[in-house]
Amino acid sequence: MQLRKGLNTMIILVAWELWKHRNKYVFDDMQPRIQVVITIVMEEAGLWKMTGAKNLASLFNNTKVDELSG
């Protein structure tokens, strides 16, 4: 159940960041770059984890989220 909740949290986070990146592409004339989205998602996942999204950490098998983005 914890893994499922973590996955749901990650899906929400990825969808939100994709939406924001898409808006930058459409409205701010920015080039779409998947690496930028991945980096932002990993950074945000670390922040979400620090602010209480404990189930998100279950997706990374005790690996620090910060290590994955570096």
Convert the pLDDT of each residue in 5-53 to its tens digit: 889 999 999 999 999 999 999 999 889 999 999 999 999 998 988 888 8
Burial of residue 5 (number of CB atoms within 10 Å: 0-12, 13-18, 19+):
middle
Instruction: Give residue limits of the domains in the chain.
Output: 2-69
What does the pLDDT read at residue 63? Answer: 53
Q: Give tens-digit pLDDT for 51-67.
A: 888 888 777 655 554 45
